[in-house]
Structure 1
């Protein structure tokens, strides 16, 4: 299965959330390492797997509720 890998900036443009919100609120709370994103070659760079992110959004995980609870 082919995957679409996105940088944080590219994901931000697709889901209309600020890059900082993705990094500080969604990553590891809603989007999990090894499921929704990877760190290729053991590096620091993060690549999000679009198909997994989209699937989670469509399942009704309310990211805005999680963000609201973190504030």
Structure 2
């Protein structure tokens, strides 16, 4: 309804998106979405390469494709 849209629009961003990334200040509506986003900031301290980490078991991979293949193990 229009009243609902007006109410949600007027709410503070902190109320609508309470989970904030410490790296880039982006905000998210759920902790799971924040966790998935935070993976985009992971970098190997020795090599400087990006690291992709599984949200389920914390296993780490050097590329997104390997992580996606791994995730299938959890859902399939």
TM-score higher than 0.5: no
Quick one: higher RCO (CA 8 Å, sep 6+), 1 or 2?
1
How would you bin the TM-score normalised by the shorter chain?
under 0.3
| TM-score normalized by the length of structure 1 | 0.26
| TM-score normalized by the length of structure 2 | 0.25
Bigger Rg, which one? 2
